[in-house]
Structure 1
Amino acid sequence: MTVQLRPEAKPVRVALLGCGTVGTEVVRLLHEQADDLAARVGAPVELAGVAVRRPHKHHDVPAELLTTDAAGLIASDVDVVVEVIGGIEPARTLLLDALRAGRSVVTANKALLAEHGAELFEAADAAGADLYFEAAVAGAIPLLRPLRESLAGDRITRVMGIVNGTTNFILSAMDGTGASYAETLEEATQLGYAEADPTADVDGFDAAAKAAILASLAFHTRVTAADVYREGIAAVSAADVAAARELGRTVKLLAICEREADDEGEAVSVRVHPAMIPRSHPLAGVNGAFNAVFVEADAAGQLMFYGQGAGGAPTASAVLGDLVAVARNRVMGGRGPRESAYADLPVRPMGRTPTRYHISLDVADRSGVLSQVAAVFAEHDVSIAVVRQEGRGADASLVVVTHSAPDAALRSTVDKIAGLPVVREVVSVMRVEGEEL
């Protein structure tokens, strides 16, 4: 293949920080696609060094490229720094040093962006450097760039999606087999979908960091992980999944970002929690470890992005896409998009966010029970959409699905119902999304 390069083009030198599953794939793709990358960029893309903690464990990387001195590598003659270390430190310090030195940065670090994105953007702007991070959310799925660039002329009102493959695998398996959470978590661990310590995934921390990034881009407002309401899936039972199936729904861990106006003005809400969604919804058919994000905008309407949300090769694909963009900017003298936080909207607390509940109760099987329960809903101004009651001897099962109401009112309703003498137990409470009644 004949590669057409700009006559004056010098190689774009790349420093890679970290060489785990994703970093190894980045090295491989840089080598295997060297000619294509050079053609797309307009100059050779040259790997200048790879910073790792234990060089002797990286046999697939030429020894002369390996170093334990990440700071020294950044300070050397490099143009772009690619970070796939993960975590907050030392990644934060290293990337700030790189940006302040005028290096462009490509990162897959969702936790860092969700906590310190504003600081990184400010450093990039001050130095005139690029900061790209497509790989931080949903792996290979081209999602952030459409939000950041393609839909920049539109008004996005909602982003709702499945952004964690581990939890989606577990919930899909529970739905398909009727197995318990513990059983499917063990299976996910054995198959490599869940880490030995799955806390970040199953408790919703991973999805919350991604939701913060999505909301920041979609609504032109700085949102951090601390702003995101978060619930994990450990409390989801086989009975919850079965109840959803009976109602024509399935359970998914959703990241939901909304821009809405109420009596107090316009605000954004950002939350991560399990929810029942109709099986007719586009997200209901996303199974296994796949990710999908549903976007709603005023002019574009409804859009859906779907694909592999994790894994070495898919994530490396997103990293390489960003690398091509920032390298091309280096060669051509341009710059990528800067942070857009002009809207500066307040983040609405979860208590004021409108949601709907599916509530399952064990109650005494006698007359007047339903009227007592209904009275509590009326007291808190919560409208009931669906009621189903089944007798079981002296006890009965009562299922209530509400209309939309502020989450705080729904919470208060459940607390009050739990104290009724006729209520034996509040078996489960789960939010309902994706439909209007």
Structure 2
Amino acid sequence: MKKVRLSIVGFGVVGQGLAELLHKKRELLQRDYDLDVSLVSVANSRHGFIYREAGLDIPTLLELAAQRQPLTQHPGVDHWTSVVEGLQATQADVLAEATWTNLQDAEPGLSHIRTALKKGMHVTIANKGPAALAAGELLALAQQQGVQLRMEATVMAGTPVLSTVSEGMAGVSVQAVRGILNGTTNYILSAMAEGRDYAEVLAEAQAQGYAEADPTADVEGYDVVAKTVILAALVFGQFIKPEQVQRQGITGVTLEQIQQAARAGKRIKLIASISRAADDPQAPLLARVEPVALPLDDALAHVNGAMNAITFHGDSLSAVTISGPGAGRLQTGQGLLADLIAIAKTL
């Protein structure tokens, strides 16, 4: 049986989701994948980095987190206040990086990933910041070190988007991508299509946890821009900057515009789109994030609520649409778990 030593950096909602899945699915992983995962280190911003050579007890960690108690209360651990120092001083096979997304300089996640890759660790990430701002550098470093860097959870949580393109659609020349990549904005636009006011729906989305107290990253399209940049890198092999994506959020979309679109047989959605400027693999990409009135024969027009979806347009497969959850504790944890299983197959 393959034994994999895992480090989870970022033990908030997503990191805890991955830990919970590892505990619940321990027997499945052993039976179906011949895989025994030992969680040897965990870190969060409040309590630093803890490590136990023999492995940490996941139920104990989850209980400490639920009670907002220091992770250092776990019996028998070594502790570092600095995550980077902890990673450098300890041994693990794989890092799951799930700290908060920072689209300004990608820290602290970027330093965590660099440290792990330089140590020869495989890495899977849920953090969109490093993937959006430094994908080229990090992928090159991973290749140089002979390890894998996987990013499934960065685009649509656990919905298999990146693996579908790289593996399930291997051999297809993808010519364009269009997607609904933010659950908050899709929830708002779906409710407005039923005749409700933007401000009312936003308040409801915040109350239900779909939207943050400051919803700017979602409603102004910045979250989708980050995912668009990641798709450009991993689907098209071109590394563009967030400012190269033409961006327009949904704050300017009125109820009247949505009703007018409905009368014309269309539905307004916030759409990320990537296409080549010309029919040439080396041609620059055109990337946009904007509200679009979609005809009802478009598969994306029927994706409602907090769901996400993406359509790949290719040569031998004209249109492939994948729909599923784009956020959530266990859903995003599943994206990390899928990457971990894929990495383990190569060890």
TM-score normalised by the chain length of structure 2: 0.87
Does structure 2 retain, via aligned residues, the 8 Å contact 1:52–1:66? no
Deviation at 1:59, TM superposition (A): 4.4
Tell me, in whole angstroms, the C-alpha distance in 2 between the residues paired with 1:96 and 1:321.
22
Letter in 1 for 2:182: N
User: Which deviations, in whole Å up to 9, do the C-alpha atoms of 1:265-323 show, x marking residues without a partner?
Assistant: 93321110111111221111100000010111000121100011111111111110001
Partner of residue 309 from structure 1, selected from 317, 326, 341: 326
Deviation at 1:66, TM superposition (A): 8.7
Partner of residue 5 from structure 2, selected from 8, 13, 16: 13
* 1:395-434 matched pairs, under 5 angstroms: none
Aligned to 1:143: 161
Letter in 1 for 2:123: V
Partner of residue 73 from structure 1, selected from 86, 94, 98: 86
TM-score normalised by the chain length of structure 1: 0.70
Aligned-pair RMSD on alpha carbons?
2.0
- Identical aligned pairs, as a percentage? 37
User: Which deviations, in whole Å up to 9, do the C-alpha atoms of 1:247-280 show, x marking residues without a partner?
Assistant: 11111000001124179x9332111011111122
Partner of residue 206 from structure 1, selected from 218, 223, 229: 223
Aligned to 1:192: 209
Identify unmatched segments of 5+ residues in structure 2: 48-62
Structure 1, 241-250 or 147-156: larger mean CA deviation: 147-156
Aligned to 2:136: 118
Tell me, in whole angstroms, the C-alpha distance in 1 between the residues paired with 2:283 and 2:83.
44
Deviation at 1:105, TM superposition (A): 0.3
Q: Which has the higher contact order (CA 8 A, sep 6+)?
A: 2
User: Which deviations, in whole Å up to 9, do the C-alpha atoms of 1:215-246 show, x marking residues without a partner?
Assistant: 22222222232221111110111111111111
Does structure 2 retain, via aligned residues, the 8 Å contact 1:231–1:273? yes
Alignment partner of 1:305: what SS?
strand
Does structure 2 retain, via aligned residues, the 8 Å contact 1:40–1:324? no
**Does structure 1 residue 35 correspond to structure 2 residue 27?**
yes
Alignment partner of 2:319: what SS?
strand
Deviation at 1:74, TM superposition (A): 1.7
Tell me, in whole angstroms, the C-alpha distance in 1 between the residues paired with 2:244 and 2:165.
20
Partner of residue 323 from structure 1, selected from 337, 340, 343: 340
Does structure 1 retain, via aligned residues, the 8 Å contact 2:136–2:233? no
**Does structure 1 residue 63 correspond to structure 2 residue 74?**
yes
* 1:234-273 matched pairs, under 5 angstroms: 234-261=251-278, 266-273=283-290
Aligned to 1:284: 301
Tell me, in whole angstroms, the C-alpha distance in 1 between the residues paired with 2:214 and 2:121.
35
Does structure 2 retain, via aligned residues, the 8 Å contact 1:84–1:108? yes
Instruction: From the CA coordinates, give the structure whose radius of gyration is larger.
Output: 1
User: Residues 172 and 43 from structure 1, CA distance in 2 versus in 1: closer, same or farther, beyond 3 angstroms?
Assistant: closer
Tell me, in whole angstroms, the C-alpha distance in 2 between the residues paired with 1:47 and 1:187.
38
Tell me, in whole angstroms, the C-alpha distance in 2 between the residues paired with 1:24 and 1:282.
34
Tell me, in whole angstroms, the C-alpha distance in 1 between the residues paired with 2:143 and 2:260.
51
Aligned to 2:100: 86
Tell me, in whole angstroms, the C-alpha distance in 2 between the residues paired with 1:292 and 1:141.
9
Does structure 2 retain, via aligned residues, the 8 Å contact 1:80–1:327? no
User: Which deviations, in whole Å up to 9, do the C-alpha atoms of 1:150-175 show, x marking residues without a partner?
Assistant: 32312111110100000000000000
Q: Count how many residue pairs are aligned between Structure 1 and Structure 2.
A: 320
Deviation at 1:98, TM superposition (A): 0.5
User: Residues 289 and 37 from structure 1, CA distance in 2 versus in 1: closer, same or farther, beyond 3 angstroms?
Assistant: same
Tell me, in whole angstroms, the C-alpha distance in 2 between the residues paired with 1:293 and 1:313.
20
**Does structure 1 residue 50 correspond to structure 2 residue 64?**
no
User: Which deviations, in whole Å up to 9, do the C-alpha atoms of 1:320-340 show, x marking residues without a partner?
Assistant: 00011112222xxxxxxxxxx
Does structure 2 retain, via aligned residues, the 8 Å contact 1:110–1:136? yes
Letter in 2 for 1:94: H
Tell me, in whole angstroms, the C-alpha distance in 2 between the residues paired with 1:50 and 1:189.
29
Does structure 1 retain, via aligned residues, the 8 Å contact 2:109–2:129? no
Letter in 1 for 2:110: R
Following TM superposition, the consecutive aligned residue runs of length 4 or more in structure 1 with deviations greater than 6 angstroms are none
Alignment partner of 1:137: what SS?
helix
Alignment partner of 1:221: what SS?
coil
Alignment partner of 1:319: what SS?
helix
Deviation at 1:89, TM superposition (A): 0.8
